[in-house]
Structure 1
Amino acid sequence: MELAFSGTSGILIMLFYGVLMLLIGVGTYMRNKKVHSSLEEYYLGGRGLGTLVLFFTFFATQYSGNTVIGYSAEAYRVGYANLVTIPFFIMIILVYLVFAPRMYRLSKKHDIVTPVDFLELKFKSKAVSILAAILMLYALGNFLLEQLIAIGQGVAGLTGGTVPYQAGVIFFIVIMIIYGWLGGMRSVAYTDTMQGVALLVGVFMLLIGTIVYFGGLPAAGDYIRTYSPENLGVPEGGGLVRWTNFLILVGIGAAVYPNAIQRIFSAKNERALKRSLTQMAWMPFLTAGVVFVIGILAYTAFPDLTVEESEQIVGMMASAIANENIIFYIAMVLLFGGIIAAIVSTADSVLLTFSSIVSKDIYGRYINPDATDNRKILVGKVIGVIAVGFLLVIAWNPPATLYQVFLLKLEILVQVAPALILGLYWERSHARSVFIGMLTGALLAAVFTFTNLTPLGIFSGVWGLIANLIIYVAGSLVFGKAPVRQEADMLEGKKATQPVR
């Protein structure tokens, strides 16, 4: 019996996931109609996310449908050098463990809702808070644009082009806005759980089907050794520099995603946070590792693909496997639905955090400090929808590859990391030095990115981070004095003993 993906099956699975997301949003709202009564309830789920839900919402933040599609294609193109994707994700977990528990304790003590709340509490600087908010909003907007483009491409691929790129984007964006508007963080976290399960099951079914029908790693290794021996070696020289660049950008930058930090604040307790992060430590191997193996196994299934053709490698393998067996057919259709759901779930968390920074850190702190929480939430929702509309115009005809969009986002976002992580521990941190360092790093990263400069092979974002840290540390050593110690005491809830000078 010949089985193949069709427009009809793709549309049905797309509708299934869409309706399921809507039901989650409606159900969450019906169970908690006070969701819009406070910023903490709407944006942090009332700080009540348990270990399992917290684990899956971290999973959805760190891994998306793009991980399955993009990293398999990259493994196919570069071979075993792509093993570096596993350390990327391990690095993210290590960075989380450096700051997440301490930041969680502070968030509970001081009712912190957004990352900018922490910076305001720490540095008492309007300049630092506004600049950090702008950089975070830029990164979140960039990240959301990436997801919108991926949604359209995913739907077009799932339905065999029956549903056009633009129609797919609009369909899922409308659903995302509705369930996010209804249930806030709880809706987002529950949809993350649904898509995380679907994605994990689908990826492992794809791996099993690939091994059954195309052979395992020994066969792929023999093919690579014969026809592409360069893809068996490890990077040297410039390749090692490139690995290091990615470890810094991805490991540090992805750990300070504002939407990831808000999940730290959303934990039910510190034990749930630590347990969820401990479980996340396995996921680089079970997700990035499995995706890497799938890309390597594709050598024997579809040899000699061009760069453009290799971008479709997951779809090609899934379609071939689906043709062999009704069970794999069902699994592969569910996989592609899960990939799209994963992308949507990443987009919804980004939109929620974008709205929270607008509503609390911009509108609530500087424009209308006397506004009620309900009013702030409404403003955040409206601005979020306007931002999505603006990004849809850009996504209609994507101006750059997803890879370029991804890089530009991280190279700007990583400039916030010193203020968030070093500022969390270093009592002598000096607000003006933090501001100048962050601004210099962002400008340097932007200039180098747009002029395509990579001196010594070092990425623009890393150069910006180096300049940022030098100014931050040097300025704080020279100017950081007693007032900053008093601020540190306040952060820990201690009574300040030294006078402000």
Structure 2
Amino acid sequence: MNDLIFAGPSGVAILCAYAVIMLVIGWYAGRSGGTGTARGYFTAGGGLGMVTLFFTLYATQYSGNSVVGYPPQAYREGFLWWQSVPFMIAVIAVYLLFAPRLYVLAKQKGFVTPTDFVRDRFGSTRLSLLTIALMLWGLGNYVLEQLVAMGHGIAGLTGETIPYEIGVVGFIVVMLAYSWTGGMRAIAMTDVMQGTAMLVGIGALLAGAVYLTGGLGTLTTYLTETSPELVGVPETSDAINWFAMIVMIGFGAAVYPHAIQRVYSARSERTLKRSLAFMAWMPLVTTGVVFVVGIAGIQLFPGLDTAASEQLVGLIANEVAATNVLFYLLMILLFGGIVCAIVSTADSAVLAFSSVVSSDLYGRYIAPEASDKRKVLVGKLVGVAMVFALLAIAWNPPGTLFSIFVLKFELIVQLAPVFILGLYWKRMSAGPTFWGMLTGAVVAGGTTLIGWGPFYGVPAGLVGLAANVTICVIGSLLLTRGRSRDDVTATA
């Protein structure tokens, strides 16, 4: 791959330039102040405006698992992977279902972490601790996914000039430096740069890929003739899996802890709703675009195995960049934007992990008398330790990006009932909610661990969620009905 356009000094120079820009933004955000308190550091004091909030939601939602990981999945699965568009639409639909209402509560009561809502709503220590455990699992898994994506993205886009391991370590250092100094404000400000570069870049990547394949009509004809199995009607189990993944990812991604913290960070409810309105267009503009790019890769680079296809975006980007000067400049935007957006998604998860540990564990159970400044410092140190622990795993990644991506959803989706039902259903009780969440986690994690599932196309996480909701709803109904009878007896 030494003949790739971004191989050699040019790719290294581009990445260094983006790294310097992120460090400058982090320094500026930290210099503006407001990061000395937990609320200021972890949620930017609830002061993010519409543009910044939109881009930080966008750069977090569409990162390594989409721009780098989704085209290879489309390459391997064909048109079956169109499911990636509707499940990203489902995420926005679920956001709109609960985020505005949650924001109002967060603003009234000064929530900093997602667990603050659970504690305020249910008043249960064991439910709060279980929520924390699932959040930390999901966040750790999410950071691991981004570290793997970071390495693949840098290695693929530079034609292995920057090896996987060096790329991961280098950008980890950059990420920790600017997030340490500026917190949520620095992350959101870098997201504006990254999101803009990525939007422009993937549009150019689509145009270039379509140009290289001779147009969408030619591409479809090629697939029909050479790989009819990739364009055919899916089997029943695949169709069931399609619908199941839409449900699981729609609810799971919407309750990411770092996504909820962005809800808390909005300047106003109107700002939040306007940002989500713009986000509603992004599945077509982003996931739909990278799907077509992955399909185009089948014609441009036929016969890639699983490992080689993981670097598909880098291969196509370099082919497009070689077309002319304009495409070269646009691929520079994409090149840096992809890598930096992966970094941005990782730092968001690290920030959320740090906030949960510092506020929900250290500040509440270990050192309740600790000052905000000390809690923020503890959160920062724990975040750094977590990143380097996961780096040891990312050094020898356990599977493709998609397999890692699915793994975290099996458990993180079990948080959906406590946030969504908990916001709207007053009869929901802490005891059944705890046992429902625990059962769902055991079912989902246990069946995944022993290799069972999917069940007729339904992933284990959704089976666990069904058990979770059933226990939660029936248990709450029985409990509140019993209390009502006791009240009547006592009155008589």
* TM-score of the two chains, using structure 2 as the length reference: 0.95
What does the per-residue CA deviation read over 1:179-221, in whole Å, with 9 as the maximum and x for residues that have no partner? 1111110001011111111111111111111222322110011
Instruction: Please show how residues 236-255 of structure 1 align to structure 2 within 5 Å.
Output: 236-255=235-254
Shift of 1:456: 3.0
Q: Specify the code of the residue in structure 2 equivalent to 1:480.
A: T
Shift of 1:81: 1.9
The 1:483–1:152 alpha-carbon spacing in structure 2 relative to 1, beyond 3 Å, is farther
Answer yes or no: is the 8 Å Cα contact 2:43–2:112 preserved in 1. yes
Answer yes or no: is the 8 Å Cα contact 1:147–1:344 preserved in 2. yes
The 1:346–1:482 alpha-carbon spacing in structure 2 relative to 1, beyond 3 Å, is farther
Q: Specify the code of the residue in structure 2 equivalent to 1:466.
A: A
C-alpha separation in 1, matches of 2:371 and 2:10: 47
Q: Tell whether 2:461 aligns with 1:461.
A: yes
Answer yes or no: is the 8 Å Cα contact 2:187–2:344 preserved in 1. yes
1:187 aligned partner: 186
C-alpha separation in 1, matches of 2:100 and 2:439: 29
Q: Tell whether 2:472 aligns with 1:472.
A: yes
More deviation in 232-241 or 110-119?
A: 232-241
Q: Tell whether 2:15 aligns with 1:14.
A: yes
Shift of 1:402: 2.1
Answer yes or no: is the 8 Å Cα contact 1:433–1:476 preserved in 2. yes
Shift of 1:298: 2.7
Structure 1 unmatched runs, 5+? 485-498
Answer yes or no: is the 8 Å Cα contact 1:95–1:251 preserved in 2. yes
Answer yes or no: is the 8 Å Cα contact 1:181–1:381 preserved in 2. yes
Answer yes or no: is the 8 Å Cα contact 2:60–2:341 preserved in 1. no
Q: Specify the code of the residue in structure 2 equivalent to 1:50.
A: G
Instruction: Please show how residues 292-311 of structure 1 align to structure 2 within 5 Å.
Output: 292-311=291-310
What does the per-residue CA deviation read over 1:411-453, in whole Å, with 9 as the maximum and x for residues that have no partner? 1100111111101111111101111111111111111001111
C-alpha separation in 2, matches of 1:482 and 1:271: 41
More deviation in 463-472 or 290-299?
A: 290-299
Answer yes or no: is the 8 Å Cα contact 1:9–1:333 preserved in 2. no
C-alpha separation in 1, matches of 2:142 and 2:64: 13
More deviation in 121-130 or 393-402?
A: 393-402
Q: Specify the code of the residue in structure 1 equivalent to 2:462.
A: V
C-alpha separation in 2, matches of 1:399 and 1:83: 25
What does the per-residue CA deviation read over 1:262-286, in whole Å, with 9 as the maximum and x for residues that have no partner? 0001000000000000000000010
Answer yes or no: is the 8 Å Cα contact 1:7–1:158 preserved in 2. no
C-alpha separation in 1, matches of 2:294 and 2:386: 35
C-alpha separation in 1, matches of 2:358 and 2:147: 22
2:487 aligned partner: none
Q: Specify the code of the residue in structure 2 equivalent to 1:334.
A: L
Q: Specify the code of the residue in structure 1 equivalent to 2:154.
A: V
Secondary structure at 1:456 match in 2: coil
Shift of 1:3: 7.6
More deviation in 262-271 or 209-218?
A: 209-218
What is the RMSD of the two structures over their aligned residues, measured on CA atoms?
Answer: 1.8
C-alpha separation in 2, matches of 1:310 and 1:334: 22
More deviation in 451-460 or 88-97?
A: 451-460
Shift of 1:61: 1.6
1:27 aligned partner: 28
More deviation in 102-111 or 57-66?
A: 57-66
2:322 aligned partner: 323
Secondary structure at 1:457 match in 2: coil
1:157 aligned partner: 156
Q: Tell whether 2:263 aligns with 1:290.
A: no
Shift of 1:482: 10
The 1:388–1:310 alpha-carbon spacing in structure 2 relative to 1, beyond 3 Å, is closer
Instruction: Please show how residues 342-353 of structure 1 align to structure 2 within 5 Å.
Output: 342-353=341-352
Answer yes or no: is the 8 Å Cα contact 1:73–1:313 preserved in 2. yes
What does the per-residue CA deviation read over 1:131-190, in whole Å, with 9 as the maximum and x for residues that have no partner? 100110010011001111221222222332232222211111111111111111000101
C-alpha separation in 2, matches of 1:223 and 1:150: 30
C-alpha separation in 2, matches of 1:311 and 1:156: 10
1:405 aligned partner: 404
The 1:440–1:98 alpha-carbon spacing in structure 2 relative to 1, beyond 3 Å, is same
Q: Specify the code of the residue in structure 1 equivalent to 2:149.
A: A
Shift of 1:249: 1.7
1:386 aligned partner: 385
1:175 aligned partner: 174
Shift of 1:234: 3.0
1:334 aligned partner: 333
1:270 aligned partner: 269
Instruction: Please show how residues 393-432 of structure 1 align to structure 2 within 5 Å.
Output: 393-432=392-431
Shift of 1:483: 9.1
Secondary structure at 2:427 match in 1: coil
C-alpha separation in 1, matches of 2:407 and 2:212: 39
Q: Specify the code of the residue in structure 2 equivalent to 1:366.
A: Y
* TM-score of the two chains, using structure 1 as the length reference: 0.93
1:121 aligned partner: 120
Q: Specify the code of the residue in structure 2 equivalent to 1:46.
A: G
C-alpha separation in 1, matches of 2:400 and 2:81: 19
Secondary structure at 2:353 match in 1: helix
What does the per-residue CA deviation read over 1:310-362, in whole Å, with 9 as the maximum and x for residues that have no partner? 33322222222222212222322331221110100000100000000001111
* Aligned sequence identity (%): 51
The 1:28–1:200 alpha-carbon spacing in structure 2 relative to 1, beyond 3 Å, is same
1:231 aligned partner: 230
Answer yes or no: is the 8 Å Cα contact 2:6–2:318 preserved in 1. yes
Shift of 1:72: 1.4
Q: Specify the code of the residue in structure 1 equivalent to 2:476.
A: S
C-alpha separation in 2, matches of 1:66 and 1:334: 19
Secondary structure at 2:397 match in 1: coil
Q: Specify the code of the residue in structure 2 equivalent to 1:35.
A: T
Secondary structure at 2:10 match in 1: helix
Q: Specify the code of the residue in structure 1 equivalent to 2:20.
A: V
Answer yes or no: is the 8 Å Cα contact 1:217–1:296 preserved in 2. no
What does the per-residue CA deviation read over 1:343-390, in whole Å, with 9 as the maximum and x for residues that have no partner? 000001000000000011111111111111111111111111111121
Give the number of equivalent residue pairs.
482
C-alpha separation in 1, matches of 2:462 and 2:13: 45
Secondary structure at 2:456 match in 1: helix
Answer yes or no: is the 8 Å Cα contact 2:156–2:315 preserved in 1. no
C-alpha separation in 1, matches of 2:337 and 2:94: 28
Secondary structure at 2:317 match in 1: helix
